[in-house]
Amino acid sequence: MSQNFDNIPETALAWHRAGRGAALATVVETWGSAPRPVGSQLAIAGDTEIAGSVSGGCVEGAVIIEAMDALEDGKPRMMEFGVSDDQAFAVGLACGGKIRVMIEPVGTVMPEDMLAELVAARADRIPVAYVVNPDTQSRRLTKQGDYPDRFRSDKSGFEGDEFVAIHNPPLKMVVVGAVHITQPLLVMARLAGYDPVLVDPRAAFGSKARFPNEEIIDDWPDEALKAQGLDARTAVITLSHDPKIDDPALTVALQSDAFYIGSLGSTRTHAKRVERLTAAGFNDAEIARIHAPVGLDIGSKSPAEIALSIMAQITETLRKSG
């Protein structure tokens, strides 16, 4: 599983099935400078082992105590905490705020089969929302068509009387071409929460010496991208500037649900690329999905600045499209 993908629901399910008991605590509302965003979760086992966080340490102790009581009586809890300025400063914030935390024992309040279905969807990279009405205690899972804006912005929160917890698959980035720009781009991608993969069939380029901490696939791009299973949480960037490498990757990307496709090259280079892709059978609308020249026009010169412009354009596409 991705290093950026929290496994709190998975942990709670495993603890419950192991007979240890488990409760899930979820931040459902925040005011002011709250330590953790809405949707953040903490799993609490019956023996008080925990995973995750709802406050960066400010109120975890009180949540654990309430979770133990909830496991005892099988009832949900809704708690509100004020985080003082002193507590906030201790976890790196300038000032305090308030948070509401919902606690759900697994197996009594949160049905085991519903949690298992949620975990399965996450494993299959299927976007899913867990929807709870705290007043009526009704619960359901739903797909992203019901809350497109929340899925796009990765934003859990209340819709009327219902709390909508967004569970998106981890963001993934496939970069084709082990060039100078690729080095800072992969670093920035990880900082932004992506799992980056580098594809380059040229061993001299995609070497561990040049990319010591990266996942490198030395297969041909079309085969490599097919194996990656490009979906709506995937960005594809071709940077080799060699049509023999970039074009096969673009052919696969254009037939996928990848939310972002970008390709390095000047306007003239892209015009020739358009001709080749048109000859290959792609129409204007399909080819228009390609961001080229790649990146926002911010006057970038160095490889790091170009990588920054690419990362900014990817972010803009992810958050503002639709």
> What's the confidence (pLDDT) of residue 90?
54
- Three-class SS string for the chain? CCCCCCCHHHHHHHHHHCCCCEEEEEEEEEEECCCCCCCCEEEEECCCCEEECCCCCCCHHHHHHHHHHHHHHCCCEEEEEEECHHHHHHCCCCCCEEEEEEEEEECCCECHHHHHHHHHHHHCCCCEEEEEECCCCEEEEECHHHCHHHHHHCCCEEECCEEEEEECCCEEEEEECCCCCHHHHHHHHHHCCEEEEEECCCCCCCCCCCCCCCCEECCCHHHHHHHHCCCCCEEEEECCCCHHHHHHHHHHHHCCCCCEEEECCCHHHHHHHHHHHHHCCCCHHHHCCEECCCCCCCCCCCHHHHHHHHHHHHHHHHHHCC
- pTM assigned to the model: 0.75
- Say which CATH class 171-320 falls into: alpha beta
Report pLDDT for 298.
95
How large a percentage of the chain has pLDDT more than 70? 92
Residue 148 banded pLDDT, cuts 50, 70, 90 = confident
- What are the sequence ranges of the domains in the chain? 8-167, 171-320
- What tens digit of pLDDT does each residue of 90-144 get? 554 445 678 899 999 999 999 999 999 999 999 888 999 999 999 999 999 998 8
